[in-house]
Amino acid sequence: MMPYQILYADPPWKYGGSGGTKWRNASTYYKVMTFDELKEFGKKLEPIVCWDSCLLFMWVVNPELPRCIEVGNAWGFRYITTAFFWYKMRANVGNYTMPQVEQCLLFKIGKIPSDRVRNPGVKSYYESLYGEPVNGHSRKPDEFRKRIQAMYPKSNKLELFARDNYYGWDAYGNQVRYSIYL
């Protein structure tokens, strides 16, 4: 199996909730994993990561941001910055405010992949429009894969916890048609 320079992950976070809410959580839609299970999952990545230069784009859950960063660290990566903000226009129910923004953090091992396109015009902010199709709970727009592709056109890419297969990307997940084995 080839080493990957780009990992893109939307982990199935299990967090929050006391069970007394009328709102459905992620486990209604797919199998979730605890923070400890996700940290342990990192061991599966060891043989496939390019340890000289690899980036991890990881979607996080804002109420548990420090624990999400711990997961990236447990996978061997160092937190760098927020890569993307996704403004969804529709609000979710929250404990304090009604969140409408998700963020994708950027982590790194070693150097930046050598195929980086300098100044590809990729912006960190993306706004879903009213009427844009919602393709399932927590499913991210294809736009983010396109932006990563524009920045790193030749790097080997793997989407973790994928739901669909995309041209130019390998996929790992129990909802995709063709998944690599970890």
> Using one digit for the tens of pLDDT, what is the confidence trace for 70-92?
999 999 999 999 999 999 877 66
For 28, phi then psi, to 5°, come to -70, -25
Q: Has residue 34 been placed in a domain?
A: yes
Could you tell me if 177 and 159 are in contact, meaning their C-beta atoms sit under 8 angstroms apart? Answer: no
- DSSP per position, 99-148: --EEEEEEEEEESPPTTPPSS----SEEEPPTTPPP-STTPPPTHHHHHH
Instruction: Report yes or no on whether pTM surpasses 0.95.
Output: no
Q: Has residue 181 been placed in a domain?
A: no
What are the start-end ranges of the E strands in 60-128?
78-87, 101-110, 125-127
Q: Has residue 18 been placed in a domain?
A: yes
Q: What is the pLDDT of residue 129?
A: 74
Q: Pick out the chain residues at pLDDT < 50.
A: 18-23
Q: Has residue 180 been placed in a domain?
A: no
Q: Has residue 179 been placed in a domain?
A: no
Most distant CA atoms of the chain, gap in Å: 49
Per the structure, the complete domain to which residue 97 belongs is given by 6-172
- What is the rounded CA–CA span in Å between residue 74 and residue 91? 31
Domain count within the chain? 1
SS3 78: strand
CATH code assigned at 70: 3.40.50.150
Q: Has residue 81 been placed in a domain?
A: yes
Q: Give ∠ CA 159-161-2 in degrees, rounded to 5.
A: 40
